[in-house]
């Protein structure tokens, strides 16, 4: 799942999402940023109207950068469509100036910009917003680069692709740790952060790509860790439901107790031996590489403990994911370990990256987040 990118030129009414702006501008009670339907729906999320039929409300995990060199903050907001309104709006409640940054959003004026990176397939489930102010010196080069895109009149929002973002970064000569760098290429950065050599090579080959900073790589690693944790949570919910249906007798969330354990769960079916389970999660497609550590390979090959399976969790977000369960990986791991023992003395491999299509998996099932009463 790739990010869906857009640029929005802010109007005076858009600024009312910010509490200070709302109280100092006499422009009505919108309290939201308008998301133009011809871009937000028609180009980015064309299935959204059908997917949200009867609700008109989408919870959103919102990450905010800027304006200027301001720290990242995380908020929970909503995207809402009221009645017969054509457009959706980023809403939920005011965004207040943080206590330690009491004038943070005060510099924004009509004609400033916000760059959005939305995550989600049918509907957005999370978004990163980078606000850019024409009045702040640290934003001036980026503001000029965005102005060259020519948003004017009724054309106040435009979808962008990764190449457009890369060109904006180059045109504005942004520092390698600028937040916009983290907008692209997210997938490659996450895979590189996990040690995938092929992803690292793709980053190095990307035309006009800026250098990847330690900070950008750290953020990608943190995102990968968060996605891994989300996958475990979704699997735990799935196993609880399997237990309630009597399909399994019990399960233990091993990595919740021991973070370095070579498995995530121990599952006891209603019949048959206990199984060891490792959840491998991505917010992308099924065929993103599996990263398997040496300790996990050795655990797979162990004689005791029962079958060892990978639960491949993919297209993961806060609402749910898709799941495919592997066959027992004992023989698979033995073949890999047999290759590794032939390495010269003093040479060791810490992990391997595996194309999941090399492994036999069951059919796809849906994972959904917990209901409020679970």
What is the CA angle 149-153-156, rounded to 5? 55
Does the structure show a pLDDT above 70 at 184? no
pLDDT (tens digit per residue) in 14-31: 999 999 999 988 777 778
Does the structure show a pLDDT above 70 at 203? no
Looking at residue 5, what is its pLDDT? Answer: 93
Topology of the domain covering 233-368? Trna Endonuclease; Chain: A, domain 1 (3.40.1350)
Looking at residue 51, what is its pLDDT? Answer: 72
Looking at residue 204, what is its pLDDT? Answer: 65
Query: What is the pLDDT confidence band of residue 248, given thresholds at 50, 70 and 90?
Result: very high
Does the structure show a pLDDT above 50 at 76? yes
Looking at residue 205, what is its pLDDT? Answer: 58
pLDDT (tens digit per residue) in 291-312: 999 999 999 999 888 999 999 9
Q: Which two tokens stand for residue 182?
A: 């983290």
Instruction: Give percent helix, percent strand, percent coil of the chain, each to the nearest 5.
Output: 35, 25, 40
Alpha carbons 14 and 36: distance in angstroms, whole number: 12
Topology of the domain covering 4-184? At1g16640 B3 domain (2.40.330)
Beta strands 275-281 and 308-317: pairing type?
Answer: parallel
Start-end of CATH 3.40.1350 domains in the chain: 233-368
Query: What is the pLDDT confidence band of residue 93, given thresholds at 50, 70 and 90?
Result: confident
* Residues 238/205, Cβ–Cβ less than 8 Å: no
Higher pLDDT residue, 67 or 82? 67
Mean pLDDT is lowest, of 46-50, 157-161, 356-360, for 46-50
Start-end of CATH 2.40.330.10 domains in the chain: 4-184
Query: What is the pLDDT confidence band of residue 263, given thresholds at 50, 70 and 90?
Result: very high
Does the structure show a pLDDT above 80 at 194? no
Mean pLDDT is lowest, of 148-157, 180-189, 231-240, for 180-189
Residue 366 in 3-state DSSP? Answer: strand
């Amino acid at each position: 799942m790739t990010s869906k990118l857009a640029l929005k030129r802010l109007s005076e009414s858009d600024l009312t999402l910010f509490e200070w702006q709302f109280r100092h501008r006499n422009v009505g009670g919108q309290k939201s940023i308008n998301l133009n339907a011809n871009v937000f729906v028609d180009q980015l999320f064309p299935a959204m109207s059908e997917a949200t039929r009867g609700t008109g409300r989408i919870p959103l995990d919102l990450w905010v950068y800027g304006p200027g060199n301001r720290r990242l903050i995380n908020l929970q907001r909503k995207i809402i469509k009221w009645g017969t309104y054509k457009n959706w709006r980023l809403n939920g409640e005011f965004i207040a100036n943080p206590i330690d940054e009491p004038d943070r959003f005060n510099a924004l004026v009509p004609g400033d910009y916000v760059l959005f990176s939305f995550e989600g397939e049918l509907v957005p489930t999370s978004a990163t917003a980078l606000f850019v102010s024409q009045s702040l010196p640290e934003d001036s080069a980026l503001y000029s680069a965005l102005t060259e895109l020519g948003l004017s009149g009724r054309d106040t929002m435009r979808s962008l692709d990764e190449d457009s973002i890369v060109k904006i970064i180059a045109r504005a000569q942004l520092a390698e740790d600028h937040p916009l760098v983290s907008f692209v290429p997210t997938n490659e950065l996450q895979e590189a952060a996990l040690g995938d050599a092929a992803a690292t090579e793709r980053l190095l080959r990307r035309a006009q790509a800026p250098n990847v900073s330690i900070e950008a790589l750290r953020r990608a690693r943190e995102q990968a860790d968060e996605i891994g944790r989300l996958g475990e949570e979704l699997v735990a919910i799935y196993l609880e439901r399997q237990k309630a249906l009597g399909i399994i007798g019990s399960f233990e969330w091993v990595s919740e107790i021991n973070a370095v354990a070579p498995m995530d769960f121990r599952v006891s079916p209603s019949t048959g031996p206990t199984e060891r389970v490792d959840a491998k999660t991505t917010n992308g497609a099924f065929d993103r590489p599996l990263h398997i550590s040496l300790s996990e390979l050795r655990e797979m090959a162990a004689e005791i403990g029962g079958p060892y399976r990978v639960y491949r969790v993919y297209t993961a977000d806060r609402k749910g994911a898709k799941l495919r369960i592997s066959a027992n990986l004992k023989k698979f791991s033995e073949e890999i370990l047999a290759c590794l023992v032939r390495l010269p003395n003093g040479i060791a491999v810490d992990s391997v990256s595996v194309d999941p299509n090399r492994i036999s998996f069951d059919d796809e099932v849906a994972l959904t987040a917990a209901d409020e009463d679970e």
